[in-house]
Structure 1
Amino acid sequence: MRRKGFTWDSTNQTYIPAVTSADSILEELDSGAPFKAEMIIKRFEEMGDEADPRAIARSFDFSDHRELGEYMESRNLFWDSDKKNYALRVDHSGDDKPEEMANLTAVVFQPTDEQKESLKSLEPYLPILNLLLQNKDRLVTLLMPQSGGALPRYAVPGKSVTQSIYMSEALTRLMKEYCDSRNLKQRDVIDVALIEFFKRYGYQREVDKLLGKC
């Protein structure tokens, strides 16, 4: 069954106005930070305490960390020393009363008829927008430039067990050379390789649960 002017909301199992659905999706996609800036924030999160602003700046084609900082500030993102990452700065200095702000929102931010028509035209694209939104983290990971060699660290819970595997002599030699050159344990490489594999090929939710992200 299809109702004109409405679209099916699979989450709530009911029909909702198409304008409301489109507006909600677009608002959620626009998190307040440009996509490139969001990728930079995610890189800092992944590297944690080992994050090197200079290396991260170069990996995103900035000349140095100062240019990276200027770019982030131009997007209203500032360095948070507690989080050791960039974050949106919210200005709470305004003296506007809550009721005045509510009136301002009601008057200024009401969509025009032209905007409503534009939102209605997005109805055919709502399924793909929903899909992109549900896989936002995976898309960011896939689109991020390759790091300059810094290995991400994952705090995998549970005790260690011995697991014998067979691999080609050439791969074994490459892994040994890589670990020796970067002073790493082979277990670190295996952990990262498996986690990245699972995240990319259908086990994102299971990996998030394992790492305590959900």
Structure 2
Amino acid sequence: MMTDIQTKVLDDERVQEILQGLTQGKTRDELAEEFGHKNYKTLDMYMRRRDFEWDSDKGIYKLAMEKPETAMIDTSKAYRIIQLIEQQEEPNLQRIAQLMGFESYKALAAYMGAHHYSWSSEQNNYVKQVVVEEPSPQSAPKIPSEPSQATATILSQLTVNTEEEGLAEYFSLLKMLKNNELRLMNLLQPYGVGGQIPRYTIPGVAKTKTVQMIHSLDQMVTDFAKEKNMTQRDVFEVALIDFFKRYGYERQVEVLLK
């Protein structure tokens, strides 16, 4: 169950921006100026009202409720990683890894795994693993010849977590490919049905435009137009429209062709 303090932290965007700013290397004075505070002391006051205190050794704000023995820097770093992922609808693990000082998202995944976190495809974030502690030799019970159902379930879950952690680095890439499926199909498939070159009817008044180009490229345009039974004007119109579509002018092209 989430405590009231944790809920307050998740709901306060300013707190999240301050914590993220610190992970990016900003100082308290820089953050205070950015958010309109007089100096870092008023920034400290803002965070204290939200149950945070400044840890001068680690250079971070931490929840005042944390005890010294549990407020380890690794735990705090893992917590900030989880928060950064949670703030993004489609988390960029490579960017988050760079913000947190890792060389790559693989190094970030290894760090989280070493601290008993595994990737959950259901929550789209890292979650704490169930750590099975080995009993001491004095109190160790007799191990049965066959594993119990509970032990088999835990081992099965740990195997699934390990497999998911290995796939976690590809989740953001797969989402990006899915979101851009139509554009990728247009890039991979040839023009039209059977590879036919499209023809466009562009409304407006024709205008002469003189463009200098290398002789060999000019000859290529001439040869291509003859081979495809097109005018050179058609060649340039198709080429320009295709160029604009590929490099960020899709909407303008749609308006032009209406």
Q: What TM-score do you get using the length of structure 1 for normalisation? A: 0.39
Q: Which is greater in Rg?
A: 2
Q: What TM-score do you get using the length of structure 2 for normalisation? A: 0.34
Larger RCO (alpha carbons 8 Å, 6+ apart): 1
